[in-house]
Amino acid sequence: MKPINGSEFAREVLLHGFIAVVGGIGAFLIKDDKVRVLILTSTVLLLLALFILHSYVRKVLAIIRAGDNFEIRGRLQHELLHKGRDTIVRMLANVSIQPLAVRGHSPFERFRPEIIAMLEDLVRIGQEYATPRSRVWGSLRLLRSDNFYHTFCRAGSYTPARIVTSTPLHKKEAATIMRLRESLSSGRCVIISGSGKGLEMWTPQPNDRFGDDKCVLMGAIMIKSCEEKTSAYFKHQMIGVITLCADREDAFNESHVPWMQGYVDVFSAMANVLARSSQGLG
| pLDDT tens digit sequence for 45-95 | 666 665 665 555 555 555 544 555 777 778 888 888 888 888 888 787 776
Query: Closest by alpha carbon to 233, among 260, 268, 264?
Result: 268
Strand bridging mode 190-193 / 169-170 = unpaired
Averaged pLDDT score across all residues of the chain: 79
Question: Looking at residue 274, what is its pLDDT?
Answer: 85
Average pLDDT of the segment spanning 236-265:
92
Average pLDDT of the segment spanning 17-29:
60
Range with the poorest average pLDDT among 24-28, 46-50, 53-57, 120-124 = 53-57
**Distance between CA 269 and CA 263 in Å, rounded?**
10
Structure-model confidence comparison of residues 201 and 60, the more confident one: 201
Band (pLDDT 50/70/90 cuts) for residue 280 is low
Average pLDDT of the segment spanning 205-230:
87
- CB contact burial 217-234 (16+ within 10 A = b; e otherwise): bbbbbbbbbbeeeeeeee
Say yes or no to pLDDT of 207 above 60: yes
**Distance between CA 88 and CA 272 in Å, rounded?**
8
Q: Give yes or no for a contact between 239 and 100, defined as CB atoms under 8 angstroms apart.
A: yes
Q: Strands of 113-246 (E only): list them.
A: 136-143, 148-156, 169-170, 190-193, 215-226, 233-246
Say yes or no to pLDDT of 134 above 50: yes
Q: Give yes or no for a contact between 156 and 138, defined as CB atoms under 8 angstroms apart.
A: yes
Angle of CA points 266, 269, 272, to nearest 5°: 150
Question: Looking at residue 83, what is its pLDDT?
Answer: 84
**C-alpha of 205 from chain center:** 23
Alpha carbon separation from 261 to 135, 225, 246 (Å, rounded): 21, 20, 18
Band (pLDDT 50/70/90 cuts) for residue 102 is very low
Band (pLDDT 50/70/90 cuts) for residue 4 is very low
Say yes or no to pLDDT of 190 above 80: yes
Say yes or no to pLDDT of 149 above 80: yes
Query: Helix, strand, coil % (nearest 5) of the chain?
Result: 55, 20, 25
> Long-range contacts of range 155-159, CB-CB < 8 Å, 24 or more positions apart?
155/116, 155/119, 155/120, 155/122, 155/123, 156/119, 156/120, 156/123, 156/127, 157/212, 158/212, 158/245, 159/207, 159/210, 159/212
CATH 3.30.450.40 correct for 95-278: yes
Q: Which residues contact 75 (CB under 8 A, 6 or more apart)?
A: 258
Give residue limits of the domains in the chain.
1-91, 95-278
Average pLDDT of the segment spanning 202-228:
89
Angle of CA points 250, 80, 275, to nearest 5°: 90
Q: Give yes or no for a contact between 85 and 268, defined as CB atoms under 8 angstroms apart.
A: yes
Question: Looking at residue 10, what is its pLDDT?
Answer: 53
- Provide the phi-psi class of 247: left if phi over 0, else alpha when psi is between -120 and 50, else beta: alpha
Question: Looking at residue 100, what is its pLDDT?
Answer: 54
**Distance between CA 262 and CA 122 in Å, rounded?**
11
Q: Give yes or no for a contact between 143 and 220, defined as CB atoms under 8 angstroms apart.
A: no
**Under DSSP, is residue 76 helix (H, G, I), strand (E, B) or coil?**
helix
